[in-house]
């Protein structure tokens, strides 16, 4: 039995030795030298980055681009994590690299470092706003970190110190422009860098012009008065379709040139300054004023632009009315008892810019219209009206058949005794200037 075991061992062991010898004689492992990810995308602001080198040989860094520094290893053996710093880039796009070579072979590994130039801009960079203000989208296009470094004007949607990275849309809100000046709002955003380089910036601008109203090809100045309402600060000079201005106050035309010292003022400069004079029917777009419609025009748009109307008695009273203490009605915002009305100087000081353009005086439907002025010896008009939409009276004279009709209007007086605006009675059949008031928000 023992003999058989010895024989088996003598046969098998040489075979195992041969097998082991064959393993030791295998070809050596192929050398490896490569970056796990061959490309790094660096922020334009620069920073520290890492790259995984996969290797089974000794290696050496043989070159690196000028924008790459602070490499943690210049040589090594086997796998390694390379750490390096990329400088900020403000100029053109750049592509850098790190080259690693094997110590005992021709193997080379190259890490590509791509870096865009710093970009920061608002697209678009500016816009305009209406007098009512509103909401605006300011789109920032940026490829690095940023922060808000400047806010000019009062608006919502961005504060100093707000920060982020990459593209961003700001939602900015501004209020109504109630001043007499153009308002400018600015939002400035800067790149957020270390002291290594100067920051870049972008500014978004909103320009809000002087409050105005475009109507019939004319731009009218408007103003918000102490009654908290928007008013035209110029006399209306709109011509309805089919109408041309007349210089004959007796022709019933419905639209007349303004008056100056009792005569028509037909030159362009006078019209621009004083506007036209309108009768009630033309102002409200009806063929004639009758017993059934004379008191049906209150608060209507009439000849005014959409969203505006010819003022009511209550709206005129809110500026210049005397009020009624017994009924608990307060005087108008500009009313002064000594003047028995609103001083023109106070209204003008508030931006209302009162202009007296005379009137067409026609007390009844049968009367002959005439230009009215109280002071021909002066070098300025002493009389004018701003039409109101609330009817005052409509009376038929049974004997003559003539009708007297009046509306509540703003009577303007400028003489040695009074320089005021009062809520009085204007001639419905005659001609008055028009100042529109904006509708109240619903």
Q: Taken in order 209, 213, 215, 221, is the CA torsion positive or negative?
A: negative
In the chain, % helix, strand, coil (3-state, to 5) comes to 10, 40, 45
For residues 219 and 200, membership in a common domain is answered with: no
25 in any annotated domain: no
By residue range, what is the domain housing residue 51?
A: 33-115
- Look at the chain and report how many structural domains it folds into: 3
Picking from 150, 183, 208, the residue at the C-terminal end of a domain is 208
For residues 303 and 165, membership in a common domain is answered with: no
H-helix segments, 308-407: 313-320, 344-349
Residues of the chain with pLDDT under 50: 1-3, 5-8, 13, 15-24, 376
Picking from 56, 85, 115, the residue at the C-terminal end of a domain is 115
For residues 139 and 245, membership in a common domain is answered with: no
26 in any annotated domain: no
For residues 89 and 126, membership in a common domain is answered with: no
pTM score, two decimals?
0.69
Other residues' Cβ atoms within 10 Å of the Cβ of residue 175: 14
Quick check: 264 and 257 in contact, CB under 8 A?
yes
The mean of the pLDDT values for the chain is 90
239 in any annotated domain: yes
13 in any annotated domain: no
CB neighbour list of residue 239: distance below 8 Å, 6 or more residues apart: 216, 245, 255, 276
For residues 135 and 108, membership in a common domain is answered with: no
111 in any annotated domain: yes
For residues 392 and 309, membership in a common domain is answered with: yes
81 in any annotated domain: yes
For residues 176 and 313, membership in a common domain is answered with: no
For residues 152 and 249, membership in a common domain is answered with: no
Q: Residue 115 forms beta bridges with which residues?
A: 42, 94
For residues 337 and 232, membership in a common domain is answered with: yes
In this predicted structure, what is the pLDDT of residue 375?
Answer: 55
Q: How, if at all, do strands 201-208 and 437-438 pair? A: unpaired
Interior/surface letters 230-250, b for 16+ CB within 10 angstroms, e for the rest = bbbbbbbbbeeeeeebbeebe
261 in any annotated domain: yes
In this predicted structure, what is the pLDDT of residue 26?
Answer: 54
For residues 235 and 310, membership in a common domain is answered with: yes
For residues 276 and 416, membership in a common domain is answered with: yes
For residues 175 and 91, membership in a common domain is answered with: no
Query: Distance (Å, rounded) from C-alpha 17 to C-alpha 3?
Result: 22
Residue 311's nearest CA partner among 384, 413, 254, 229 is 229
15 in any annotated domain: no
CA distances from 70 to 45, 50, 113, 183 (A): 16, 11, 15, 50
Domain of 166, CATH number, reads 2.60.40.10
Three-state DSSP at 22 gives helix
């Amino acid at each position: 039995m023992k003999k058989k075991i010895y024989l088996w061992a003598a046969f098998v062991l040489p075979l195992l030795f041969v097998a082991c010898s064959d393993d030791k004689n295998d070809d050596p492992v192929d050398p490896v030298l490569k970056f796990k990810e061959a490309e790094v995308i660096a922020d334009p602001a620069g920073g520290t980055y890492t790259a995984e080198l996969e290797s089974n040989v000794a290696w050496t860094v043989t070159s690196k681009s000028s924008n790459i520094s602070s490499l943690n290893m210049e040589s090594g053996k086997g796998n390694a994590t390379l750490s390096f710093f990329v400088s900020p880039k403000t100029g053109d796009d750049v592509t850098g690299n790190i080259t690693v070579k094997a110590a005992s072979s021709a193997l080379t590994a190259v890490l590509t470092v791509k870096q865009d130039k710093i970009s920061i801009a608002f697209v678009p960079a500016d816009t305009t706003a209406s007098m009512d203000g509103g909401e605006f989208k300011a789109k920032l296009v940026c490829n690095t970190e940023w922060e808000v470094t400047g806010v000019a004007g009062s608006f919502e949607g961005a504060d100093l110190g707000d920060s982020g990275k990459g593209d961003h849309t700001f939602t900015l809100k501004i209020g109504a422009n109630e001043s007499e000046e153009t308002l400018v709002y600015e939002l400035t955003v800067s790149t957020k860098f270390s002291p290594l380089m100067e920051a870049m910036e972008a500014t978004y601008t909103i320009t809000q012009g002087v409050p105005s109203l475009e109507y019939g090809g004319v731009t009218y100045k408007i103003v918000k008065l102490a009654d908290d309402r928007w008013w035209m600060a110029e006399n209306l000079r709109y011509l309805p379709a089919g109408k041309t201005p007349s210089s004959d106050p007796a022709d019933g035309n419905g639209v007349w040139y303004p008056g100056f010292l009792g005569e028509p003022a037909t030159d362009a400069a006078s019209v621009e300054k004083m506007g036209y004079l309108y009768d009630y029917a033309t102002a409200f777009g009806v063929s004639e004023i009758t017993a059934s419609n004379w008191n049906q025009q209150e608060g209507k748009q009439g000849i005014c632009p959409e969203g505006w109307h010819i003022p009511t008695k209550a709206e005129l009273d809110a500026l210049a009315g005397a009020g009624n203490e017994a009924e608990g009605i307060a005087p108008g915002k500009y009313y002064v008892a000594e003047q028995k009305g609103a001083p023109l100087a106070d209204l003008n000081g508030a931006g209302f810019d009162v202009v007296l353009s005379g009137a067409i005086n026609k007390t009844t439907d049968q009367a002959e219209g005439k230009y009215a002025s109280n002071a021909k010896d002066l070098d300025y008009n002493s009389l004018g009206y701003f039409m109101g939409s609330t009817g005052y009276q409509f009376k038929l004279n049974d004997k003559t058949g003539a009708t007297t009709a009046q509306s509540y209007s703003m009577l303007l007086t400028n003489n040695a005794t009074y320089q005021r605006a009062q809520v009085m009675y204007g001639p419905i059949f005659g001609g008055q200037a028009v100042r529109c008031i904006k509708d109240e928000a619903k």
